């Protein structure tokens, strides 16, 4: 079986509030997108990297040139993203219809998570490799978790949840090509709110594996996250 990497990069970074999409913001001496792509390519040098990009993306050509100068062997496929993240991932899978076999693995990783380590990537692959469907990196919840409810324009506690069973869903998430393709297609047709791949497989009746991952695999979402990522990247031994 083959491994394909789908790296959704078609978001506009609204919460970042910058004048260009966050994946193109500087991070150390590169852009956020290049750091993430580089880490995935280093872990899986043989794998195709599939990048769903925004229809009006202006920045990819320059980044691609720099990336291929650094990694001339990298195999890149681009396609258009869609309205939501799940649409972008499905477009990425559709770009592989003529290439991928049903049983192949697809690793999906947000380009907005540059702090992914080589060890976590290997742990995910090793953890799911004999599984029927696949799984995801996840981190056990450390804080006490409250369920809130809205009362007169404010929020009050309605319950404390049992933290022992709660995990933060991270990326990468890794699934068999055909099962992921079918689950995403059907989930989107049904209008389900799919914020990750696992939720699509869960809706299809599967129980993906939770593979413990590092808590510093943060998603760059708000402006202050960039400085934190720089700090983490500087101190990490990937």
What dihedral do alpha carbons 61, 36, 169, 11 form, nearest 10°?
Answer: -20
Pick the binder of ligand CTP from 39, 41, 85, 181 (CB under 6 A): 85
R_g of the chain computed on alpha carbons: 18
- Least separation in angstroms between residue 175's CB and ligand CTP is 16
Residues 6+ away with beta carbon under 8 Å from 47: 2, 3, 4, 5, 40, 41, 75, 107
114 binds ligand CTP (CB under 6 A): no
Q: CA–CA separation, 110 vs 63, rounded Å? A: 17
Stretch that binds ligand CTP, among 81-89, 124-132, 148-156, 178-186 (CB under 6 A): 81-89
Stretch touching ligand CTP by CB under 6 A, among 8-16, 57-65, 141-149, 200-208? 8-16
Assess contact for 23 and 111: CB atoms under 8 A.
Answer: yes
In this complex, which beta carbon is closest to ligand CTP, that of residue 111 or of residue 170? Answer: 111
208 touches ligand CTP by CB under 6 A = no
Interface residues toward Mg ion, by CB under 5 A: 11
Interface residues toward ligand CTP, by CB under 6 A: 8-15, 23, 52, 81-85, 88, 110-112, 219, 221
């Amino acid at each position: 079986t083959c491994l394909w990497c789908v790296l959704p990069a078609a978001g506009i970074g609204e919460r970042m509030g910058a004048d260009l999409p966050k994946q193109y913001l500087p991070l150390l001496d590169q852009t956020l997108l290049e750091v993430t792509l580089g880490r995935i390519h280093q872990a899986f040098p043989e794998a195709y990297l599939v990048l769903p990009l925004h229809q009006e993306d202006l920045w990819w050509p320059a980044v691609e040139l720099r990336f291929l100068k650094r990694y001339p062997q990298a195999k890149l496929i681009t396609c258009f993203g869609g309205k939501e993240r799940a649409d972008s991932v499905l477009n990425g899978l559709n770009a592989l219809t003529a290439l991928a076999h049903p049983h192949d693995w697809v690793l999906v990783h947000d380009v907005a998570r540059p702090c992914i380590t080589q060890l976590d990537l290997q742990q995910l692959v090793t953890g799911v490799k004999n599984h029927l469907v696949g799984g995801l990196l996840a981190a056990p919840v450390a804080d006490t978790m409250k369920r809130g409810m809205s009362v007169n324009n404010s929020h009050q506690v309605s319950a404390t949840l049992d933290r022992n069973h709660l995990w933060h869903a991270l990326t990468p998430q890794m699934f068999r090509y055909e099962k992921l393709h079918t689950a995403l297609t059907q989930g989107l047709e049904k209008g389900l709110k799919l914020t990750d791949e696992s939720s699509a497989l869960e809706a299809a009746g599967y129980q993906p594996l939770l593979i413990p991952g590092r808590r510093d695999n943060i998603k760059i979402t708000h402006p202050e996250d960039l400085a934190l990522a720089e700090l983490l990247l500087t101190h990490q031994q990937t």
